[in-house]
Amino acid sequence: MPQIKSAIKRVKTQDAARKRNAAQMNKLRTTVKKFKDAQAAGAEDASELHVAAVRALDKAASKGLIHKNKDNRDKKRLAKLVK
């Protein structure tokens, strides 16, 4: 554990950011997985879930959670599943 006050604060903020990022990544993965499962099952709400998955990917890229190229690559793969 750090002794310097600024280092102690930095550890706290890093921990908070790590937890926040982990939660957002879980949410992103869950949204994409729901769409893939619905598409494989031929569900009627698959198009709505596709929009939600694309939106989640865009949001993650805009917040710096994932790289913009990964965002575009994943969106293209999801679009292929729709066809």
Residue identified by tokens 């990917």 is 57
Task: Inform me whether the pLDDT recorded for 17 exceeds 90.
Answer: yes
Taking CB atoms within 8 Å and a gap of at least 24, the contacts of 33-38 are 35/78, 35/81, 36/78, 36/81
Q: Is the dihedral of CA 37, 40, 46, 52 positive or negative?
A: positive
| pLDDT per position as a tens digit, 36-78 | 999 999 889 999 999 999 999 999 999 999 999 999 999 999 9
CB under 8 Å to 53, separation ≥6 — which residues? 31, 32, 34, 35, 78
Q: What average pLDDT does range 14-40 have in this prediction?
A: 96
Q: 1 in helix, strand or coil?
A: coil
Query: Residue 8's pLDDT is what?
Result: 96
Rg (CA), the chain: 17
Q: What is the pLDDT of residue 47?
A: 92
